[in-house]
Each structure stands twice: as C-alpha cells, then as structure tokens.
Amino acid sequence: MFKSALAFLFISVGCGLLLVFTADLTAPRIEQNRLAARLDIARTLLAPLPAEVNLALPISGTCDAVLLLNMVSPGYAGDIQLLARWQPAAGVAMRVVAHSETPGIGDFIDHTRGPWLAGWDDTLEGDIPTIDGIGRATITTNAIKYAFSQALHRAEVHCER
C-alpha cells in the first residue's frame, strides 16, 4: 500500500513538473498565436481596424464609434471565447475565437464552418430571444444568447461610465 502510494506520488510529481515546464516554454508563443487569431477575426468584423483598438484589453475602442469586446461564454464542452463588435444603434456582431463544442453538432457557431453566427450580425437587445438553433445544440445556442446579452450589457455599462 505504502509502495503504491509512493510510486503514484512520484509519477504525479514527475508529470506535473513536465507539464509546468512545457506550459512555461510554450506560453509566450501560444499567447502570440491567440492574439494573432483575435486580430484576424477583428479584421473580419471591422476593416480597417482603428488605431485605438487593443485586443489584449477586455474592452477597447470608443463609445461614439465602435467597441471591441473579448467575451467568454459557458458552452457544452468548456468556455467559448468570442470577440464582439458593438456599435451605437447598430448593436452587436460576434465571432468565435476558440471553442471545444462537439464537431458536427455544436460547431455551427464557428464562422469558418458556416454562416449561422454571421446571420446574427447587428443584434439588438430585442433580437436576443429570437436567436435559435432549431435542431441544433441547445446549450451551445444558449451560450451565444448569453454572450450577446453580456456584450450589450458590458458596452452599455462601459459607455455610461
């Protein structure tokens, strides 16, 4: 029993150290790749990108023109990361940056795989209940609804300040 526990502990520590080392080694490059992916997506939402946009911040841009918001919404298989564009009067448009939704069932939200999310560009508060994914993944659709509602709320609070 003692030998088993000791062996398991030894292997756990070894695996943990290996993971920490790899995570440290790859972290700067992963961060750089994620930022580049966000920039590419931002350009599909807003071209040309205004100089004041800084995607490393949770919200960037100006309230009288456009805001870009980094969003996270709980999906079926973990968090869905999104980038939202808010414009006064025009509402919110959104694209998925990263997700782990089930391929073929929940990945319809990915704009590179289908036009569903782009179909909800310029969504206003009143449009959110009509966002539907009939015959699709309910939790994934609800995550997108939540993200739209949060984006509108955060933009409103940010601009009131």
Least Cβ distance, residue 57 to other proteins (angstroms): 22
In contact, 145 and 139? CB cutoff 8 Å: no
User: CB 51 → other proteins: shortest distance, Å?
Assistant: 25
User: Pick from 158, 157, 131: which is nearest to 142 by CA?
Assistant: 131
Q: Does 12 bind other proteins (CB under 8 A)?
A: yes
Q: Which of 64, 89, 103, 134 binds other proteins (CB under 8 A)?
A: 103
By CB under 8 A, tell whether 7 contacts other proteins: yes
Per CB under 8 A, 132 contacts other proteins:
no
Q: Hey, CA dihedral for 69, 74, 78, 80, is it positive or negative?
A: negative
Decide: 68 and 61 in contact? Cβ < 8 Å.
Answer: yes
Establish if 135 lies at the interface with other proteins (CB under 8 A): no
CB of 36 to other proteins, least distance (A): 8
Q: Check residue 48 and report its DSSP letter.
A: S
